A = this chain, B = another copy of it.
Amino acid sequence: MLAKSSTELVRQKNSALVLSALRRHGPLAHTELSDFTKLSSATVSVITADLERAQIIEKAEQQAASGRGRPRVLFSQRRNCGYLIVVVISSDAVQYSLVDYAGRLIDRFSEERSQEASGVGPFVADLRDALRRIAARSQLAHDKVLMISISSKGLVDTSEPVLRWSPIFGRDEIDFAAVLRDEWPAKIILGNETLLVASALGRQEENNKGSDFRAMAALSLGHSIGLGIVRRGEEGGHQVSAPNFGHMMHVPGGGLCRCGARGCIEAYAGFYAMLRTAFDVPLDTIPAKFVPIAELDKIAVSARHGGRRNMLAFRQAGLALGNGLSRVLSLHERMPIVITGPGVRYYDLLIEGITEGLAESHVVRMEGMPELRVIVDEPTLVFEGHLNHAFSIIDNDIVRRTASVVELRGQAG
């Protein structure tokens, strides 16, 4: 209860509502907009006229009339209203995508990262170079890029686009805003990768279940462990967060983790950790920087054929995940859990431990086992999450500026 309300704010919110309907359902006619937003037809008229004048949306070309009556004219985002660059940083590569304001992919390329850590300096140089390149390839002026949305695994600051800790660069922080400010007027945002997965899942679930949707967690298994949580917010929106799950304490004083602490969940359930258990290496051995997935596949094959030690590796990983999840559920509420990431290929070996680790806890005894789902294709979710997250911010920013834009245009004309 801190901010006062005003009629201008009402317009802002309702304009945002119109834009978000367009995002969710694609091109819509006046009538449909009115239906989806529950705004009166008259209001929709005014808002669409404003947005059209501000060059944010446009009427689509007339299309074959489908029935009796005046034909509908569809509104959609003006594609060249602005652009979004999506940067997905993973352990072995960085993927760059250029997307127009309507959400269409225009260009994409990936750059491999050299395995031997080259440090922050060269990485940033590569990043700047690649960004310049993706704009140049589509002959785009830098000021037409509204936002650069970056994701990485690791620990991300909640308010600034600063990477606090990552499996790749460790404690060497990267302040992306500082690094890109000189060349890009765009807004820079940085999100934890699994946060974006959760965001994408939240939208999917909302589409399916409607207002029944309450909350959901995404667990990403791989070299490191990520968790994203999405919940319905006070005002109908989605609140999404990425707790530092991988480095939540599993066992006090337990196995040494890549982060330098001991007993993190990742130190039991990350790929390197499972390998460590499988080979019976002492738990305080400094973990390998990178583990070829083929190595783990071998262990999995053996485990599936009854190899004791190898089964144990997956079981212990599952237990760490299950216990951790039970703690998450204790601190929030019971919610469906979606498991994704490269590690899902071992789901058959992990599930027993996960279930057992969950079962012991008070929450699960009280409220029952949470629903567990598996989704294999993580990269698609990450990209969807980027679009989701980025455009909802972009649209809100745009709407906040529209009033003044219209004013200026009015004076000019």
Chain A residues close to B by CB (< 8 Å)? 1-7, 9-10, 13-14, 16-17, 20, 37-39, 155, 158, 164-165, 171, 211, 233-237, 239, 243-245, 247-249, 252-253, 257, 259-264, 319, 323, 326-328, 330-333, 357, 360-363, 365-366, 392
In the complex, what distance in Å separates the CA atom of A1 from the CA atom of B158?
A: 21
Contacts of A3 in B (CB 8 A): 235-236
Please state if B38 and A4 are interface contacts (CB–CB under 8 Å).
yes
Asked, given contacts A362-B257, A366-B164, whether A9 binds B5 with beta carbons under 8 Å apart, the answer is: yes
Please state if A249 and B360 are interface contacts (CB–CB under 8 Å).
yes
Contacts of A247 in B (CB 8 A): 330, 361-363
A247: nearest chain-B partner, CB-CB: B362
Asked, given contacts A234-B233, A244-B330, A366-B164, whether A4 binds B9 with beta carbons under 8 Å apart, the answer is: no
A39: nearest chain-B partner, CB-CB: B4
In the complex, what distance in Å separates the CA atom of A17 from the CA atom of B4?
A: 7
Q: Distance in Å from the Cβ of A125 to the closest Cβ of chain B?
A: 27
Please state if B1 and A16 are interface contacts (CB–CB under 8 Å).
yes
Contacts of A319 in B (CB 8 A): 252
Contacts of A234 in B (CB 8 A): 233-235, 237, 239
Contacts of A244 in B (CB 8 A): 330-331, 362-363
In the complex, what distance in Å separates the CA atom of A9 from the CA atom of B237?
A: 17
Q: Distance in Å from the Cβ of A170 to the closest Cβ of chain B?
A: 11
Asked, given contacts A233-B234, A262-B360, whether A249 binds B330 with beta carbons under 8 Å apart, the answer is: yes
Contacts of A248 in B (CB 8 A): 326-327, 330-331, 361-362
A328: nearest chain-B partner, CB-CB: B331
Asked, given contacts A7-B7, A39-B4, A365-B261, whether A245 binds B330 with beta carbons under 8 Å apart, the answer is: yes
Q: Distance in Å from the Cβ of A1 to the closest Cβ of chain B?
A: 5
The listed residue (B236, B328, B362) touching A259 by CB distance below 8 A is B362
In the complex, what distance in Å separates the CA atom of A164 from the CA atom of B2?
A: 33
Contacts of A366 in B (CB 8 A): 155, 164-165, 171
A363: nearest chain-B partner, CB-CB: B244
Q: Distance in Å from the Cβ of A35 to the closest Cβ of chain B?
A: 12
Contacts of A252 in B (CB 8 A): 319, 323, 357, 360
Asked, given contacts A235-B234, A244-B331, A360-B261, whether A249 binds B326 with beta carbons under 8 Å apart, the answer is: yes
